Amino acid sequence: MIHIHQASKYYNNAIPALVDISFKINKGDFVFITGPSGAGKTTLLRLMFCAERPSSGEIILNGVNISRIKPSAIPALRRSIGVVFQDFKLIDSRTVYENVAFALEITGAGAKTIKKKVWQTLKWVGLLQKKDSLPPCLSGGEQQRVAIARAIVNNPLLLLADEPTGNLDPQLSLDIMRLFKAINARGTTIVVATHNRGMAEQFSDKIICLSRRHSIEPC
């Protein structure tokens, strides 16, 4: 599914974000990436969905070397990847339904397909009754569920989540992790970046640990 080989990322001032990272993730895995703030967890996820390019090394996703992919091919690749952000990144002026539908609209899906998939997805994450609400009227946990619904409405092969419970209380965090577990059980490969090592140990058998030196260390 994902093969990262000796990938490094340096920015213009030569400060390292990641140094010589190598690991494999198989289809259907539920993987946590842990480490202290600044270790490179977010950068690693950004490399996986082509928001960043590695300074060196290779990243293979489903047989495609995304380290060398042409910019024009990135939008098509991203249709197989769902992304959940810590700060939700919802459009406050659009309803819950419209936020989720947007992910389908940009792919050119028809109105009937959009309505069917959005309703099914909102029902599955337990938010169908909130479909006409605006994000500012929702709780943090509900907003995160909307963000997850938007990320999975296209049935992605890969779901990436960056500190998805960072702004939630412990009980809501558990609820969100159980939802990820259910998504994974349907066959979606999931990679979650978090500084919460206890959460990772509770929900996953595969953990990748980044150190303050921006490299992988034994967990």
Domain borders along the chain are 27-51+72-217
Task: Give the pLDDT mean for 125-151.
Answer: 96
CATH superfamily name and code, 27-51+72-217? P-loop containing nucleotide triphosphate hydrolases (3.40.50.300)
pLDDT of res. 14: 84
Q: What is the pLDDT of residues 139-175, one digit of tens each?
A: 999 999 999 999 999 999 999 999 999 888 899 999 9
Q: What is the pLDDT of residues 65-102, one digit of tens each?
A: 988 889 999 988 898 999 998 889 999 999 999 999 99
Confidence check: pLDDT of 13 > 80: no
Percent of the chain with pLDDT over 90: 80
- Is residue 188 very low, low, confident or very high in pLDDT (cuts 50, 70, 90)? very high
Q: How far apart are CA 172 and CA 142, in angstroms?
A: 9
**DSSP reduced 3-state for 69:** coil
Lowest pLDDT segment from 92-106, 132-146, 195-209 = 195-209
Model-level pTM? 0.93
**DSSP H helical segments within the chain, as ranges?**
41-48, 74-78, 96-105, 111-124, 140-152, 170-185, 197-203
